[in-house]
Structure 1
């Protein structure tokens, strides 16, 4: 049809919210295509008969009221629920649930970005339909007392890193802030904020 990838992405995001395009003007508003391209492809559009008989302002109001998205809790969503998002198939939906179970539940929406193989643009689409509504109660791991085995129970910390943490603590004394963790070899500093949610000093 001549649409760019960015224009198609805007349309997909709009459709994944459960909304429908009901006019050529609305199609342009959603995709941001040029007037020239709209004029070229508009003859190929086909809308329900009722659309032409309803004023555009009324159509917009009806569309918004009919397509209001009900956001579900990310912590109670099933694999089947998650597959409703474009870009999430059976494998990824099960992986999200497994990752969530290993964490004991998502504490913040951004943890969805940590699921292996889940693309950022798919995460963005998912967060339009799912959010962390009920924050689970978790038992934090004391970074100054935990053994390497205890630290390795956290999905973000592999065994090798757990041993590095304990070794660093033995050489430098107790951690006075979570920022000290950045000094440890191979520590994923970009995920410190999320990891710190599961730790205590």
Structure 2
């Protein structure tokens, strides 16, 4: 090997030597800057990037929290179960469709047993779901009442221990009762004229203004006698105005009756009327005697 020839490559002029030294200086300086200067600090201090990192951290926390939450069921009316809610509750598509088909006929389920009859859900699923069923108060109240019995006017009369027929009583007869003066006696007679005849002594309680003592006094001194001229309401043909004038119905109840009749057809008996929201169920036995269903 010719070393002499090789060494010729490492012979520099004065200017070349300065250039080489300068190059080495730049390289060494660059390396020192790379190792000793923290370039990430500027990026971490970037306000915009910090804001995005903070937002991303919040999103990640919400995702973790959402995944850890269980589906909580609050009390609900089973008549209004949506597809999604039914799915979350464990119902099959067929069971949900049966409920929706039933509701599309403008019908309502009013008990857990009726819900199962319509949807065909299993006993185990019904037991889980029914603990959160919440039906309207009027449905609950209706269920708590005793089954309607079609009493006759004689049944009312047997319960009363009385002396005179209230339907033939005059103002002078009524005034003799303690607590019933001229004004109240006239009010009782006007109320009787609206009905045609009383069918129960309990109707005296509906006369506005009478004290409990006066009501009891009338009950003790009178009885139900003749009830031949009842002013009956043709419930299947009466207008809104006629129904709202009936002593036991207000305008709102009359509107509900007209709406129900137009959607479901004629009423067959008093039990059809009991289904209407707001119907005075506690007076159903008396009201039935003043209605004509033919």
Equivalent residue number for residue 188 of structure 1: 280
Q: For the pair shown, which has the larger CA radius of gyration, 1 or 2?
A: 2
Equivalent residue number for residue 116 of structure 1: 208
CA distance in 2, matches of 1:96, 1:141: 21
Equivalent residue number for residue 100 of structure 1: 192
Q: Is the 8 A contact 2:171 2:182 kept in 1?
A: yes
Task: Find runs of 4+ consecutive structure 1 residues off by over 3 angstroms.
Answer: none
Question: 1:74: how far off?
Answer: 0.8
**Number of equivalent positions:** 133
Q: Which has the higher contact order (CA 8 A, sep 6+)?
A: 1
Deviates most, 172-181 or 98-107: 172-181
Q: Hey, which of these two has a bigger chunk of helix by percent?
A: 2
TM-score, structure 2 length as denominator? 0.41
Question: 1:79: how far off?
Answer: 2.1
SS of match in other structure, 1:75: helix
Does the C-alpha gap of structure 1 residues 121 and 182 become closer, same or farther in structure 2, counting only changes over 3 Å? farther
CA distance in 2, matches of 1:110, 1:190: 12
| Two-structure CA RMSD over aligned residues (Å) | 2.3
Unaligned runs of 5+ residues in structure 1 are: 1-68
Is residue 142 of structure 1 aligned with residue 234 of structure 2? yes
TM-score, structure 1 length as denominator? 0.58
Question: 1:70: how far off?
Answer: 8.4
Question: 1:165: how far off?
Answer: 0.5
Q: Is the 8 A contact 1:107 1:136 kept in 2?
A: no
Equivalent residue number for residue 271 of structure 2: 179
Question: 1:139: how far off?
Answer: 4.9
Unaligned runs of 5+ residues in structure 2 are: 1-160
Deviates most, 161-170 or 144-153: 144-153
- 1:135-187 Cα offsets, whole Å, 9 max, x none, are 13235323222222232342222233222201111122332331222232322
